[in-house]
Structure 1
Amino acid sequence: MIWIFAVLGARFASAAGISRYVEAALGQRAEYGVTAVLCGTFPLSVPALAMIGGSYALTAFGIEPERLLVVSALFLLSAVLFNLSGVRTTTLINKVSLLLIVATVLILAALRLPDLITGGRLWTAPDFTAIHPASLWKVTVLIFWAYLGWENMSFGLEEFKNPNKTIKQVYFLSFVTVVVLYFALAATMNGASIHDSNVNVTQGIAHLVPAQWRQLFSIATLVIILANANAWVFGASRLFYSAGRNGLLPDIFGKLDRRGIPRNALLLLAGCFAAVLLASAIFHLKIEDLVLIANQNFLVLYVACLYCFWKIETGPSRWPLMVLGSASCAFLLAGFSYRMLYPIALLIAGMLYQQYRAKRPGLSV
């Protein structure tokens, strides 16, 4: 999928991101449908990330669990404010976050070298006897969350210089970096979980460091998660801005302020985040619920991107990537059942709205 996003991104660098790929391959009606799915997905995925960050904050500062939504709201507010302050601030935070991530993983791997080695050895001789298919599906879908983000990059590609060259380089280097870091971290946690079950909880990574360093480590983790949320808000705001520019949302959200920031789109996004947190409080939604719904929506979008790649690409990689990608997405989508009604409803609503606009002489599509 990363290669597919790199190819499509280099050809169609636009703030519309995935929606632009779909428009190029399937037309404007499909673009509206996909944009609607995206607009219904980011307001779930970013609060889920903020709630994960909130869980770490509770551990780091000894805050009562009942304060999770309040802390999550502070995470989201910070991410929105950083984006409102400008691209330079956002870029600086992302650079600091990258340095922290690399340093943190390397330090953990060094401190827990025996666990890293043990975890790596466990992967060389896996035990499949105790694995239930339903459990395998759920774990795989949740792990899929860790690898989200490359599709989010598509919304910022319009701001790249020399996109044909730089976009593919960015995708490749980010993929290699993420794989190495996740391998080291996952192997370390895998080995440590044998003698310490605490590493398996949401904020369990904090148990990998000595107790006297735990609070400092948790603070570093909070900064990393905040920077991640900051990047997601950046992508989501460009999506909402593009939706306003293209007519799916009111045109007030398709305007930039004098600094080139989609301020109105950011404010709309903040309102959506507040609504999701309120719904989480009323309906007692868990982090896992938001993650699963967001993941299934992204998988639906991955299927759309696969088809766009297959229709646009003419090289030898066309069919192999289509087959492998389709098989992976089919497995991951198989267990969602009734939850699939949500992205389907968004897709249909977006397509119907495009048809409505096309029939109104006073509205341009």
Structure 2
Amino acid sequence: MSNAPDSASELGSQAPNAIEATGKPKLRRALTTPMVVLYGLGVTIGAGIYVLVGTTAAEAGQFAPIAFLMAALVVAFTAFSYAELSTRYPVSAGEAAYVEAGFKRGWLATIVGLLVAASGMVSASAVAIGAGSYLHEFWAVSEAFLTACVVIVMGLIALWGITQSVTIAAVITVIEISGLVFVMYWGFSAPDPKGVSILETLTPSELGHWVGIGSASVLAFFAFVGFEDMANVAEEVKDPKATMPKAIFWTLILATVLYIGTTIAVLVAVPIPTLSASSAPLSLVFVEAGDRTKQVFGLIAVVATVNGVLIQMIMASRVIYGLADRNHLPAILSKVSPSTQTPIVATLAVTAMILLLSLALPIEALAERTSQIVLVVFILVNLALIRLKLNGQRVEGTVHAPLVVPILGVVTSAGLLMISIA
């Protein structure tokens, strides 16, 4: 067990230049604000809206957009906490560093880091299954085989290099956002809509509706898993103090707008029973479209879900690397390739675990477990920030959230966790 750092400056001293004196290859600071925003949007959008609109509609029915809005509100408080903490401690395995600084417990930091890595691997497994489902529409081979191919190829890209990996992810993210805009256009302009009206998606009037919305918000919360992943690449950001808060907020705002607009468009165009039974829900909007339109969107959906796998791989491998680099895990996991400057052993381990999970568990179970793991991490991260603030620790040049923000982050995250367990 390592000793916990006493201040932000001690953790912050683990910048690459300070550590490179040991002669050990370190991660490269190469990411700018647009790249980090696209990184966050890539994992958030790919992991959620392309895969889980159907299962969310199965719980909340026509009020699925409200479930997404509720999930966004829960995430917002914790996003402010991450904005402050990621500027205090711009290192890999960010959540583990935050908890270690707040609680002064190395063992607790290790647990949190492993939970974060687990959430990324489980999330990537769920999205890989979705990718396999979309690919199956093009190739009549086993979905399990297609899922395995997606995981292996994304693992190879993740090994290539952080700049190359995030650049590829950024290009894919622009494509997947275009796909959502396409869905909204097609759904709202359908000449013969078979779903509900826009007004019907926004007016829950009975208690039973809110029970379903609350339950669905746990699944919808999974769709927002991603903004916190940006904290785990902070060690590879050129100017983390300036970049991280802006990137976190823009990711959350843009994802929320895209989610609500897309969900309403799909509910207008597709009957809820049909939607809730599909593992490739957005493609249903184009059932009556021409073959070329279906094929174009099918390719966009494949690209979007594949992107989610890649970015979660990057995140999870950086968490494992960060824990090993700070002596919480075996040193072999902190090995960095001198040529690509990527954590090679950690990336291989993460790829193998994602492959195993994606072939062993169904998508609904994976999504729910991811949400629960992330909610536990959110509670601990917010508690860590509360402790830091009560101890009077303040770092100049960083974002500062009022004390009420992490308190509300604990309350909202705990409430959603209780709903998911009940």
TM-score for the superposition, normalised by structure 1: 0.82
Describe the superposition over 1:15-57 as per-residue Cα deviations: whole angstroms up to 9, x where unpaired: 1211111111112232122123234333322111111211222
Residue 402 of structure 2: aligned partner:
318
- Matching residue within 280, 297, 301 for 1:203: 280
Alignment of 1:98 onto 2:173: yes
User: Per the alignment, do residues 202 and 304 of structure 1 end up closer, same or farther by CA in structure 2, a change over 3 Å counting?
Assistant: same
Residue 299 of structure 1: aligned partner:
375
CA distance in 2, matches of 1:309, 1:15: 18
CA distance in 2, matches of 1:182, 1:311: 34
What displacement does 1:336 show? 4.8
Residue 11 of structure 1: aligned partner:
88
Residue 352 of structure 2: aligned partner:
271
CA distance in 2, matches of 1:43, 1:108: 28
- Matching residue within 48, 52, 56 for 2:134: 56
Residue 290 of structure 1: aligned partner:
366
Describe the superposition over 1:86-109 as per-residue Cα deviations: whole angstroms up to 9, x where unpaired: 223212222222221222122222
- Matching residue within 320, 344, 347 for 1:240: 320
CA RMSD of aligned residues (A): 2.5
CA distance in 1, matches of 2:170, 2:419: 37
Q: Find the residue that maps to 1:190 and give its secondary structure.
A: helix
CA distance in 1, matches of 2:117, 2:357: 13
Give the letter for the 1:99 counterpart: V
Residue 214 of structure 1: aligned partner:
294
CA distance in 1, matches of 2:81, 2:406: 9
Is the deviation greater in 17-26 or in 209-218? Answer: 209-218
Alignment of 1:226 onto 2:306: yes
Long gaps (5+) in structure 2: 1-77, 395-399
CA distance in 2, matches of 1:155, 1:78: 22
Higher helix share: 1
Q: Find the residue that maps to 2:216 and give its secondary structure.
A: helix
Count residues in correspondence: 328
User: Per the alignment, do residues 113 and 40 of structure 1 end up closer, same or farther by CA in structure 2, a change over 3 Å counting?
Assistant: closer
What displacement does 1:79 show? 1.2
What displacement does 1:110 show? 2.0
Asked whether the 8 Å contact 2:383–2:407 carries over to 1, the reply is no
CA distance in 1, matches of 2:358, 2:305: 18
CA distance in 2, matches of 1:163, 1:132: 40
Asked whether the 8 Å contact 2:117–2:319 carries over to 1, the reply is yes
CA distance in 1, matches of 2:315, 2:127: 14
Give the letter for the 1:276 counterpart: L
TM-score for the superposition, normalised by structure 2: 0.72
Asked whether the 8 Å contact 1:309–1:318 carries over to 2, the reply is no
What displacement does 1:126 show? 2.4
Alignment of 1:43 onto 2:121: yes
| Segments ≥4 residues shifted beyond 6 Å | 115-118
Residue 151 of structure 1: aligned partner:
228
CA distance in 2, matches of 1:275, 1:110: 38
Q: Find the residue that maps to 1:256 and give its secondary structure.
A: coil
CA distance in 1, matches of 2:417, 2:214: 9
Long gaps (5+) in structure 1: 339-365
Q: Structure 2 matches for 1:17-32, cutoff 5 A?
A: 17-27=94-104, 28-32=106-110
Q: Find the residue that maps to 1:40 and give its secondary structure.
A: helix
